[in-house]
Amino acid sequence: MWVNIFWTGISVNNNQYLFIFIFLLSFLQGCTALQSFPHAARSGDTVALAVGSPLGMSRENTTAIITDIDGVESDITSRIRSIFKLYADPASKVYELSGNTSQLVYSAEHTPWITIVVLDLPSGLPVGDANIKFNTSAIYPGVGSHINNRELSINILPGDGVSNDFKYEFGIGASLSGNLTVLEPKSRAVYRHLSPSTMCPCPEYAAIEVRTSIPTKRFSISNGLIKVIPQDLTVFTGSGRYVTHGVTSSGELLVTFISPDEALQYIEAQFSVILFGLKFEGTPTINSIKYFDYDGNEVAGPASDYTVTLN
C-alpha cells in the first residue's frame, strides 16, 4: 500500500478539503496501484500526484515533463510547488502489526508514508488525455518501483483553470494563503541501515546505542541546537521501544533505542538529525554502534551496513 502508489488528485477553487480528501482516498488503493487516480483538471489548475515512497526526493533533485494529447512535451519542473511526505494516522489500520503493511514497511525500510508532488499545470494545454513524467535521483528502496519515466495520466478539461493558493482560516474571520513548502523537510542527516533483509529473521536486542560526531563551525554542539527524529518502524515490530538522545561531555551525539521486552530489531535504530541555527560542515561520522541484551551485556550486532547521508 505504501511502497508504490502513483495517483493524481485535483485541487481546484481553493478547496483544501477536496485536496486532503483525495489524499485519503489514495490510502485505500492496493499495494501497487500504477494507474493514476482518475481525475481531471483544466490548464492552469493545481494538481497533486503521489509518487510512491522514495528516500530523499526533493525539488532540487526532481524534474517533471508533461506531454499533451498532441505529443508535445513541456518542462514543468519550475511549476513544482512542493514535495512532501503524507503520513497515516498511527491509530489507523495501516499501523497494525499484521498484514501486508508490516511486510511492505520492512521492505521499504521506513514508517508508512507516501510522497506527494504538488504542481501547477501550464496554461494553453489542448483538451484531452495528457501524462506527467518525473525524473529524480532519489532512491526507491525495497520492492518499490522507481517513478522515473513512468507516465501518470491526467485528463485536461476545457477552460482556463487557476493556481490554488490554499486559503485557510487563521483566527476568527481571518485568512491566509497556504505555503506548502513549509511541509518539506529541512536539511538533515539521515542514519539508516542498508538492505535490512540480509538478516532475516532479525535478532532482537534490549538496547542499541549509536554514537556520532556532528561537524559544525562550533567547537561543540549542545542539546538545544539539535533535534533527533527516530524512524518509527514499530508498525513492523512489537518492541515497545523508546528513544533517548543527548550530547556527551566529549561532544558526541548519543542516541539510544531501548526495548523493555528485549524485542528491538536492528533496523529500528534509524533516525534523522536536524540542527537549529547551524549547518552541517560535512557528513557526520558514526563513531560506534553497540548492541545490548536484557542484562546490559554488549552482544554482537550488524554495523558494516550502517550509513549516514545528508539530505
**What is d(CA 51, CA 151) in angstroms, rounded to the nearest whole number?**
11
CATH topology agreement for domains 4-170+175-182 and 186-310 = yes
Could you tell me the CATH superfamily of domain 4-170+175-182?
Immunoglobulins (2.60.40.10)
Q: Which three cell numbers stand for residue 63?
A: 524534474
Cα dihedral value 201, 203, 204, 205, nearest 10: -160
The identity of residue 290, as a single letter, is: K
Q: Centre a 10 Å sphere on the Cβ of residue 198 and count the other Cβ atoms it contains.
A: 9
Q: Centre a 10 Å sphere on the Cβ of residue 131 and count the other Cβ atoms it contains.
A: 17
CA 223 to chain centre: 25
What is the pTM (predicted TM-score) of this model? 0.81
Domain boundaries of the chain, sorted by first residue: 4-170+175-182, 186-310
Per-residue pLDDT tens, the chain, 311 aa: give them. 344 444 444 444 434 434 443 444 344 333 323 334 437 899 999 998 888 888 889 999 999 999 999 999 999 999 999 999 988 887 887 777 666 667 777 677 778 888 889 999 999 999 999 999 999 999 887 666 788 878 888 999 999 988 888 877 777 778 888 888 989 988 899 998 875 545 556 789 999 999 999 988 876 677 778 999 998 877 777 888 999 999 988 889 999 999 999 999 888 899 999 998 888 999 999 999 999 999 999 999 887 778 899 98
CA 166 to chain centre: 22
Q: Just give the CATH number of 186-310.
A: 2.60.40
**What is d(CA 256, CA 246) in angstroms, rounded to the nearest whole number?**
9
Nearest to 97 by CA among 257, 239, 241: 239
